[in-house]
Structure 1
Amino acid sequence: MMIALMALYLALLFTLVWLGAIRFNAFWKASPLVVLLLLNVGLFIPMGWGAPQGKALVYRNAVSIVPDVAGEVMDVPVRPNASLKQGDVLFKIDPTPYDAQVKAIEAQLKLSSTRLTQMTSLYERDAGRGFDVEQRQSEVDQLKAQLQSAQWNLDKTVVRAPADGYVTNVALRKGARVGNLSAAPVMAFIDTSATQVAVEIDQINARYVAPGDAVEIAFKYVPGRVLSGKVESVLQAVATGQTLVSGAAVAPKGIETVPFVVRVALDDAELAKALPAGATGTAAIFTDHVKVSHVLRRVLLRQISIIDYVNPF
């Protein structure tokens, strides 16, 4: 844009000199440098504060699928990258041992309940002890808790989708044995119930960014279009500013200036769902400062969106 403005000024200056409207003296010879300085100081540098620009990235939360029970896989009906609703079946584990455990506890509970009824009846006729009734009641309560736990294990032999989304890279097959160790997930589930967009803004330009500011984004995935949104929040920490609990002394290292991250919500929720995780683009945030620069930033962003048709980087 600066090149275009300077070219426009030089063309105008040449035309005025050629028409004889002005004399090409030392002042007009030096005027391009003056105009260049004024454009930088008066417009382009303040534009970074009033309408900062940065790289945008679409990301989604991923859930590592780890079954709550161990066993042999009986069925894997899910297909890679197929759309799923919350509660859809991902895979099934052989329920035989867990079903047997439920039935065994149910049988014990039935017997204990009968004994409790008998002890209660004897106690009410003054032919039994209250201690025996309390003991049988305790056995029944414990068996009910065990039955609840066993039934939970049985239900967990059917592993379901935790939210709307899809499973990618499905390598699990029938006959495989899976465990309930968090270090050994068997699937990666991509949650599409919410689409998150992160924008990197240089620290020198992030001072005026606030929740609610208007945002425009040109994604390479949809060239020629500019999507609108709002700033949800400005993340108040980056990894370089994080201190972990450790028994070691402070280890000095080179301090680098890294961008801050701004989380953005797109206005078009349906299009947001269609954007693949990892889609990148260029975003502009319009703050309440230096509003005169907003028009220029909007023009620049639309130029980028058109160039995206041919620019893969």
Structure 2
Amino acid sequence: MIVVLLNVYLAILFCLVKFRIVPFNLFWKVSPVLVLLLLLMGLFVPMGWGAPQGKVLVVRNSVAIVPDVAGEVTEVPVVANTPLKAGDILFKIDPLPYQAKLDAFQAQLDLNKQRLAETTRLQTSGAGRTYDVEQRQAEVEQLTAQIAGAQWDLDKTVVRAPADGYVTNLALSKGARVTSLPLSPVMAFIDTSDTIIGVEIPQINARYIEPGQIVEATFKFAPGKVYTGKVESVIQAVASGQARTSGTAIAPTAIQSLPFVVRIRLDDPAFAAALPAGSTGDAAIFTDHVKAAHVIRRVLLRQVAITNYINPL
């Protein structure tokens, strides 16, 4: 863009000299250099913090599906990369052992309730002890709690989608045996209920970014188009500034000025939901400073949008 503006000035200067409107003296000879410095220091450098631009990445939460109970898989009705709603069945585990456990607890509860009723009648008539009644009551309450736990285990033999999304890299099949170990997930579920879009902004340009500011973004996934949105937040930490719990002393590392990540939300939720995880692009944030550079930044972003038709990087 700066080359375009400089060439426009040179064309105007040529016409002025050609038609003898200005003399071609030393001042006008060095004026292109002065104009270049003026554009750099007065417009393009301040544009970095007045309307910062950075790379965009679309991220979705990945949920590692680990069943709450162990057993043999009897059914896997889902198809990989097919949209699912929250609560849709992902797979089923053989419920027979858990149903048998529940039935056993239920039978014990029925017997203990009968004994409690008999003990209560004896205690009321003076032929029984209060201690026996309290003991039977405790047994009934204990079995009731065990039944609730057994029912929970039985319900968990049907594993459901935790949110709207889809299963990817599906390898689970009928007959496989799954466990409830947290380090043994059986499938990856991609949550599409919320689209996370982050913009990387160099630290020197992030000083004036605030929530609510206007954003324009273009994506490789949709070349030639520019989408509007707003800043949601500036993520207040990067990996280099994270302190980790450790039993060792601080090990100094090379300090790097990593970019800050700004989370944005597009005004078009349908398009945002359609963006595949991993989609990339460019975005510009328009702050309340250096507003004269906003027009130039909009032009530059649209140039990027057009070049996305041919630029794969």
- Answer yes or no: same fold by TM over 0.5: yes
2:120 corresponding residue in structure 1: 120
| 1:97-116 superposed matches below 5 A | 97-116=97-116
Unaligned runs of 5+ in 2: none
| 1:75-114 superposed matches below 5 A | 75-114=75-114
Which deviations, in whole Å up to 9, do the C-alpha atoms of 1:34-93 show, x marking residues without a partner? 000000111001111110000011111110000000011001000000000000000000
The whole-number CA distance in structure 2 between the counterparts of 1:250 and 1:271 is 45
| 1:160-175 superposed matches below 5 A | 160-175=160-175
Is residue 205 of structure 2 the alignment partner of residue 211 of structure 1? no
Alpha carbon RMSD of aligned pairs, Å?
0.8
Displacement of 1:294 after TM fit?
Answer: 1.0
The whole-number CA distance in structure 2 between the counterparts of 1:268 and 1:293 is 26
> Counterpart of 1:279 in structure 2: which amino acid?
S
Displacement of 1:302 after TM fit?
Answer: 0.9
Displacement of 1:200 after TM fit?
Answer: 0.4
The whole-number CA distance in structure 1 between the counterparts of 2:83 and 2:89 is 12
Displacement of 1:291 after TM fit?
Answer: 1.2
Unaligned runs of 5+ in 1: none
Give the length in aligned residue pairs.
313
| 1:148-163 superposed matches below 5 A | 148-163=148-163
The whole-number CA distance in structure 2 between the counterparts of 1:167 and 1:266 is 25
Displacement of 1:310 after TM fit?
Answer: 1.0
Displacement of 1:124 after TM fit?
Answer: 1.3
Displacement of 1:300 after TM fit?
Answer: 0.9
The whole-number CA distance in structure 2 between the counterparts of 1:99 and 1:89 is 19
Provide the identity percentage: 64
2:260 corresponding residue in structure 1: 260
Displacement of 1:18 after TM fit?
Answer: 1.8
> Counterpart of 1:226 in structure 2: which amino acid?
V
| 1:194-273 superposed matches below 5 A | 194-273=194-273
| 1:121-136 superposed matches below 5 A | 121-136=121-136
List 4+ stretches of structure 1 deviating above 3 A.
none
Which deviations, in whole Å up to 9, do the C-alpha atoms of 1:152-203 show, x marking residues without a partner? 0010000000000000011001011110011010110000001110000000
The range that moved more, 22-31 or 103-112, is: 22-31
SS at match of 1:265: strand
The whole-number CA distance in structure 1 between the counterparts of 2:3 and 2:73 is 64
- TM-score, normalised on structure 2? 0.99
Is residue 64 of structure 2 the alignment partner of residue 72 of structure 1? no
The whole-number CA distance in structure 2 between the counterparts of 1:289 and 1:128 is 87
